[in-house]
């Protein structure tokens, strides 16, 4: 059945209105992200993390770590911004603290940053017997807290695990979108990811 021209115009106008509505959630990135995912890497991650997909797979193979766990860490730490710098002095894609670098290292070089950060993540995984949730806590708060009761963890580490653990579970489950990642994005990640996208030239 053909619609009258006026009805077509009204429907088109409504669709355009909703597309630009302030009530559209900030997680609209998921579709674009899914279109650029690398085989072996979950499509739930934002485009600025997917940008590094090939390197994530290579780094993961080098350290024998699940690429989705590597992507989860990058997502939360920098959202893929290679020049990210925290108030505590953590630098680059994996927000590596200065004392993990050698004197001749360029902390912002993606390969160097990844190797220093993932070496620490690998040691955290080894310390936890492969428990990804505890490894994320160790990565954020230091491996020394792994054996401690969770109520003693810093608030930042609790928040890191609260979001990072479920995001990794969603990525591992083969989902094409993650409410847990969306929640992190809307609460903490929007400005970080906007900065990363600008840095990488992603529309």
Exactly one of 62, 77, 150, 179 is catalytic; name it: 77
* pLDDT of 38 over the 60 cut: yes
* pLDDT of 24 over the 50 cut: no
C-alpha to C-alpha distance for 132 and 58, rounded to whole angstroms:
20
> What residues contact residue 184 under an 8 Å CB cut-off, 6+ apart?
75, 76, 163, 167
pLDDT band of residue 167 (cuts 50, 70, 90) is: very high
Closest CA to 113 of 148, 84, 88: 84
The CATH code of the domain at 28-200 is 1.10.530.10
Active site residue 126: no
Confidence (pLDDT) at 36:
53
Confidence (pLDDT) at 66:
97
pLDDT band of residue 203 (cuts 50, 70, 90) is: confident
User: What average pLDDT does range 55-82 have in this prediction?
Assistant: 98
User: What average pLDDT does range 111-115 have in this prediction?
Assistant: 97
> What residues contact residue 117 under an 8 Å CB cut-off, 6+ apart?
73, 77, 92, 93, 94, 95, 96, 100
Quickly tell me which residue has 């797979």 as its tokens: 57
User: What average pLDDT does range 71-78 have in this prediction?
Assistant: 98
Confidence (pLDDT) at 196:
98
C-alpha to C-alpha distance for 98 and 128, rounded to whole angstroms:
24
pLDDT band of residue 37 (cuts 50, 70, 90) is: low
């Amino acid at each position: 059945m053909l619609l009258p021209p006026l009805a077509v115009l009204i429907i088109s106008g409504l669709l355009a209105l909703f597309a630009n509505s302030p009530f559209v959630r900030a997680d609209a990135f998921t579709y674009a992200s899914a279109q650029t995912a690398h085989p072996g890497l979950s499509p739930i991650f934002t485009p600025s993390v997917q940008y590094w997909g090939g390197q994530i797979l290579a780094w993961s193979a080098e350290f024998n770590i699940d690429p989705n766990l590597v992507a989860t860490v990058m997502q939360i730490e920098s959202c893929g911004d290679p020049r990210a710098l925290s108030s505590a002095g953590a630098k680059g894609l994996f927000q590596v603290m200065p004392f993990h670098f050698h004197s001749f290292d360029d902390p912002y070089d993606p390969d160097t940053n990844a190797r220093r950060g993932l070496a620490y993540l690998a040691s955290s995984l080894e310390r936890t017997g492969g428990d990804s949730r505890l490894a994320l806590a160790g990565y954020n708060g230091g491996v020394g807290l792994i054996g401690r009761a969770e109520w003693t963890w810093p608030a930042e580490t609790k928040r890191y695990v609260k979001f990072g653990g479920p995001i990794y579970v969603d990525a591992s489950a083969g989902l094409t979108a993650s409410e847990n990642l969306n929640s992190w994005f809307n609460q903490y990640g929007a400005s970080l990811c906007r900065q990363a996208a600008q840095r990488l030239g992603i529309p």
